[in-house]
Amino acid sequence: MPSKMPPMSTSRVTAHGRSRPPALSARTRASVTKRLRTVASAMATATTVAMEQRLTWFPSLDANTRSWVSVLARNGIDAFIEWFADPDSDASPGDVFAAAPPTLARSISLHQTVELVRTTIDVIEEQAHELMSRSDRPPVLDALLLYSRDLAFAAAEVYARAAETRGAWDARFEALVVDSVVRGEADETVLSRASALGWQTTGAVAVVAGQAPSVDLPHDGNLLRRSGRRHGLDLLSAVQGDRLILIAGGTAIDEGQHLAAVGHLTEHFGPDAIVVGPVVDHLVDAHSSAREALSGLRAAVAWPTAPRPVATADLLPERALNGDGHARRHLGRHLYGSLVDAGGALLETLVAFLDQGSSIEGASRVLFVHANTVRYRLRRIHEVTGFNPTDAREAYVLQMAVTLGRLLS
């Protein structure tokens, strides 16, 4: 015997992808709907009682939240009855949540919402068995199965939209904090905002600057934070034009550890240089680190083979040539001055060593000293300045320091 049931595509799903109630004659549907409306209040009352008895966390909610949950439960029952009564209705199960205040999604988690929906559906099933005739139960239970599925999807959609909205606001909030730090306007308000974003660092902080990721791989602050935590970094980030700025913090992390940790995050940047500013003691002091990091990023193009990431101290010559006054003063006064103050013919030895093409024997002949004396003095220069004259790159830094030191003397 051929089946008389209508096909699923025409009877169970609307054009918008929502379920239709089971196919019934108009008289049967009207009769069942009338009886459902008669028992709707009893179902709503039984649902509230069941929530208090079955959900251990429900009684601990504040009175206002419990009241709203009861309202939504009654709305859900009424919406189910109206959906059952009109198969051609465009009403969506998501309309059940429309009346709820936005704060409700923050008071009740998605998992708790699923438990509430499940409890409501279970109670309606129980009440249908108790309050409705045997002939009315099958269409009601079939309809409830379809409606509960749509209701669960609607609840998930509500929380997904809330999460997207919250994520967008958090990203704007985070960008505001990063911008305040970069512009040197970090104060207690900025600290409070950073704390609201999960910033916990009270110690070493450094600013990192690099090229923003491509359009094909957009910036994801949450993913970046998770990557940072795996490597001991507390991160705030923001894209500013074509550059990505990170504020990286950690407990008792020095500059070397910062540099190594940032090295694990290179995939989140574009292909060009990544520059790590000096470590400062607190977030409110991070403007100085940001200034050096951005200066280094602008100058890094002059050292295409630089490590990635690279510390701003390693870009001092390029920064100085690019007009960075802080770099010029550091080279010409701090580095050059430390050699002058150290005495012991260190400056004279460095100049001779560099002028002789980094030849120890050549410097020893010019200075009329033994080659071992030159070697000893070169080691002392390394100890005093932190730069090794026998390394070609670091010798370039020292050469620049001597040149600027003479100009600024």
pLDDT for 248-263, tens place per residue? 887 656 677 778 888 8
Range 325-408 has CATH code 3.40.50.720: no
Query: Which SS3 state, helix, strand or coil, does residue 303 take?
Result: coil
Q: Are 93 and 18 within 8 A, CB to CB? A: yes
The CATH number of 188-313, from 3.40.80.10, 3.40.50.970, 3.40.50.11540, 3.30.70.2730, is: 3.30.70.2730
pLDDT at position 155 over 80: no
pLDDT surpasses 60 at 177:
yes
**Among the listed residues 92, 99, 93, 36, the one whose alpha carbon sits nearest the alpha carbon of residue 70:** 99
The pLDDT value given to residue 219:
65
The mean pLDDT of 365-378, rounded to a whole number, is: 94
Note the pLDDT tens digit of each residue in 285-337: 889 999 999 999 999 999 999 999 999 999 999 999 999 999 999 999 999 99
pLDDT-derived band at 16 (thresholds 50, 70, 90) equals very low
| 208 three-class SS | strand
Question: Which range has highest mean pLDDT (218-222, 241-245, 252-256, 388-392)?
Answer: 388-392
Q: Which residue has the higher pLDDT, 9 or 30?
A: 30
Amino acid at 96: V
Ranges 5-19, 39-53, 327-341, 344-358: which has the least confidence:
5-19
The answer for residues whose C-beta is within 8 angstroms of residue 44's C-beta and 6 or more apart is 70, 73, 74, 77
Are the C-beta atoms of residues 44 and 73 closer than 8 Å to each other? yes
Most distant CA pair in the chain, distance: 117
